[in-house]
Amino acid sequence: MMRLSIALLLVATPALAQPYPGTGGDPIRTMMVEPSVVSTELPVVAIHGGNPEDTVLLFDGFELPWAFHENAVRSLAPPDSVVIDLMPSAFGVEYGRGSSIVSLTSGDDRRALFAEVDPVDLVLHTGQRGLTASVAIGWNDALEGLRDTRATGFISAIARSQLRITSKWALVLSGIYASEGEQRYVTRPVAAVHYRSERWHAVLAASYLHQDEPTVDRDAIDTRAELIRFADAAAGLTKLEWRLGQQTNSNRYAFPGDTFWRHDVGVWTSIAANLAPRIRATVGLRVDNFDDDVATQPRAALLGQPHSKLTLALAAGAYRRPPEQLYEVQHDLNPERATHVAAGALFDNKRDLWINTVAYYIDRRRLVVRDIEGKLSNSGSGTSLGVDVGAGYRKGPWLAKLSLALTRSVRFDHPRGAERPAPYEQPFRLDVIGGWRKNRLKLGARLQLASGLPFTPYDGAVYNSDADTYEPLYVPPLSARAPFHHQIDLRVDYRFFRRGGFELEGFVDLHNAYRNEDAIAYRYSFDYRERTAITALPLFPFAGLRGSL
Partner 1 sequence: MKRALLLAFAACTETHEVQPWQLDHERVVAVRATPPHIAPGEISMFDALLAHEDGPTTVEPVYNAAAPFAPGDLYTAVHFYIDHWQIDGPSEERLAVARDELGLPPGTPVPLDVTLELRGPLYAQKTVFLGDSRANPPAPVLTHGPDLEVGREYTLEVQAPPGGNVRWLTSCGTLRDDTMPRATHVVDEACDGELVVVLRDGDGGVAWVVQQIHAE
CA dihedral sign of residues 285, 102, 404, 437: negative
- Cβ proximity to partner 1: between 168 and 370 the closer is 370
- Cβ proximity to partner 1: between 232 and 530 the closer is 530
Cβ proximity of 273 and 237 under 8 Å:
yes
Can you tell me which of 294, 483, 523, 539 binds partner 1, judged by CB under 8 A?
523
Do the strands 100-106 and 55-59 form a parallel or antiparallel pair, or are they unpaired? Answer: parallel
* Listed ranges 42-50, 113-121, 299-307, 486-494: which one lies at the site for partner 1 (CB under 8 A): 42-50
Q: How far is the CB of 346 from partner 1 (least distance, A)?
A: 34
Give yes or no for residue 141 binding partner 1 (CB under 8 A). Answer: no
What's the DSSP call for residue 75? B
Could you give the CA distance from residue 14 to residue 23 in angstroms, rounded to a whole number? 18
- Cβ proximity to partner 1: between 268 and 424 the closer is 424
> Other C-beta atoms within 10 Å of 376: how many?
16
- Cβ proximity to partner 1: between 349 and 479 the closer is 479
- The percent helix, strand, coil of the chain (3-state, each to 5) is 0, 65, 35
Side by side, the strands of the sheet bearing 62-63 are 62-63, 55-59, 100-106, 82-87
- Cβ proximity to partner 1: between 214 and 277 the closer is 214
Can you tell me which of 260, 261, 327, 474 binds partner 1, judged by CB under 8 A?
327
* Listed ranges 129-137, 223-231, 337-345, 464-472: which one lies at the site for partner 1 (CB under 8 A): 464-472
Can you tell me which of 382, 390, 423, 435 binds partner 1, judged by CB under 8 A?
423
Can you tell me which of 115, 122, 146, 353 binds partner 1, judged by CB under 8 A?
146
Cβ proximity of 457 and 433 under 8 Å:
no
Give yes or no for residue 147 binding partner 1 (CB under 8 A). Answer: yes
Give yes or no for residue 145 binding partner 1 (CB under 8 A). Answer: yes
* Listed ranges 139-147, 257-265, 276-284, 330-338: which one lies at the site for partner 1 (CB under 8 A): 139-147
CA dihedral sign of residues 312, 55, 57, 291: negative
Give yes or no for residue 515 binding partner 1 (CB under 8 A). Answer: no
Distances 253 to 35, 46, 259 between C-alpha atoms, Å: 35, 25, 6
Can you tell me which of 18, 30, 51, 357 binds partner 1, judged by CB under 8 A?
51
Q: Which residues pair with 369 in a beta bridge?
A: 377
Count of positions on this chain that bind partner 1 (CB under 8 A): 40
* Listed ranges 159-167, 249-257, 483-491, 524-532: which one lies at the site for partner 1 (CB under 8 A): 524-532
Give yes or no for residue 373 binding partner 1 (CB under 8 A). Answer: no
Cβ proximity of 150 and 143 under 8 Å:
no
* Listed ranges 114-122, 310-318, 382-390, 462-470: which one lies at the site for partner 1 (CB under 8 A): 462-470
Cβ proximity of 207 and 186 under 8 Å:
no
Can you tell me which of 54, 63, 70, 324 binds partner 1, judged by CB under 8 A?
70
Could you give the CA distance from residue 48 to residue 156 in angstroms, rounded to a whole number? 28
Give yes or no for residue 476 binding partner 1 (CB under 8 A). Answer: no
Q: How far is the CB of 474 from partner 1 (least distance, A)?
A: 12
Give yes or no for residue 44 binding partner 1 (CB under 8 A). Answer: yes
* Listed ranges 225-233, 243-251, 430-438, 468-476: which one lies at the site for partner 1 (CB under 8 A): 468-476
258 Cβ neighbours under 8 A, 6+ residues apart: 330
Give yes or no for residue 463 binding partner 1 (CB under 8 A). Answer: yes
Could you give the CA distance from residue 426 to residue 522 in angstroms, rounded to a whole number? 16
468 Cβ neighbours under 8 A, 6+ residues apart: none
**Stretch 529-548 residues interacting with partner 1 (CB under 8 A):** 529-530, 532-535, 537
Q: Which residues pair with 172 in a beta bridge?
A: 162, 192
Q: What is the DSSP string of 253-309?
A: EEETTEEEEEEEEEEEEEEEEEEETTEEEEEEEEEEEETTEEEEEEEEEEEEEEETT
Q: How many helices (H) and strands (E) does the chain have?
A: 1, 35
- Cβ proximity to partner 1: between 53 and 348 the closer is 53
Give yes or no for residue 72 binding partner 1 (CB under 8 A). Answer: yes
Binding site for partner 1 (CB under 8 A): 42-44, 51-53, 70, 72, 145-148, 325, 327, 423-424, 460-466, 468, 471, 473, 517, 521-523, 525-527, 529-530, 532-535, 537
